[in-house]
Amino acid sequence: MKAHNTLRWLVFLGAALVMNFPVIATFVTAFKGPGEVMKNPSLWLQAPTLENFITVFTISDRLNIFAYLWNSLVAALVGSILPIIVAFPIAWAMSRRGYGRAVLFPLIVNIRALPLIIFAIPLYMVYSATGLLDTRIGLGLILAIVNLPLTLMLLVNAIGEIPLELEEAARVDGARLPRMLLRVVLPLCRPAFVTTFVFGFITGWNEFLFGLMLTTRVAVPMTVGASFFFASSGGGVQWGVAAAVMVVAALPPLLLGLIMYRRITGSMVAGAVKG
């Protein structure tokens, strides 16, 4: 029994290593000095150093990683919160009143199937005409559109799962639509809000193409900024620095996912109606 268990864990460990190899390799490389990167390809560190990270945070005269992080944070927050605010009332109307269920809902959901970059040129022109080019809000707005379909889909489902009697009870209790939505439906959608926020934030944070296209100096997000580090010395790629910058860039969404994970799952309607 015990040997059996040990074997099982060894297999799991092996699989985890193989599947996460690129991530682990990057993580390890981030701690190798410039000399070691060229000589030692193994995962075993000979002389672990924080030199790369210090470089990443200090060559801020040209490449300001704090600005990139801030830009990504603002854009990803706008891009994940705005669609929730917009989609919530729409999702209620679709779920409860059936508005747009036949055409609009499938249409919006299928936006996800389109490579959004086909809108690149008109979008660029609209952005430059409206002054949204190279702004954090502008980037956030386009991320909001990227996130809208999934948000809407999750919220439509979440509202559909709230027993209708709860809304009916609220209406009999004298609540008009706004109060019913805010006091009864909204709180019960909290798990769905957390889920859509986490997914939306991660999607927004990791988005690259629009970041590349719609920003130049002021609002460059972390993903685009990270690529600048690859050739920061002008000559060949500094792999250690590149790896360190990727670790820094990957950390915020990773932490968010870990912190919010327990809140994503689980339903809120326990005890509402009898089974």
65-92 vs 51-58: helix crossing angle, rounded to 10: 80
Tell me how far, at minimum, the Cβ of 183 lies from other proteins, in Å.
7
Residue 270 engages other proteins in binding (rule: CB under 8 A): yes
Residue 93 engages other proteins in binding (rule: CB under 8 A): no
* 3-state DSSP of 92-141: HHHHHHCCCCCCHHHHHHHHCCCCHHHHHHHHHHHHHHHCCCCCHHHHHH
Tell me how far, at minimum, the Cβ of 173 lies from other proteins, in Å.
4
Shortest CA distance to 76 belongs to which of 131, 123, 144? Answer: 144
48 vs 163, which CB is nearer to other proteins?
Answer: 163
User: Token pair of 155, please?
Assistant: 């919220």
193 vs 229, which CB is nearer to other proteins?
Answer: 193
> Could you tell me what percentage of the chain is helix, strand and coil, using 3-state DSSP and rounding each to the nearest 5?
75, 0, 25
- Pick the binder of other proteins from 7, 165, 251, 254 (CB under 8 A): 165
Binding mask 227-266 for other proteins (x = CB under 8 A): ----------------------------------------
* Amino acid at position 127, single letter: Y
Which span (32-40, 72-80, 125-133, 159-167) binds other proteins, by CB under 8 A?
A: 159-167
**Contacting residues toward other proteins, per CB under 8 A:** 163, 165-166, 168-176, 179, 183-184, 187-188, 190, 268-274
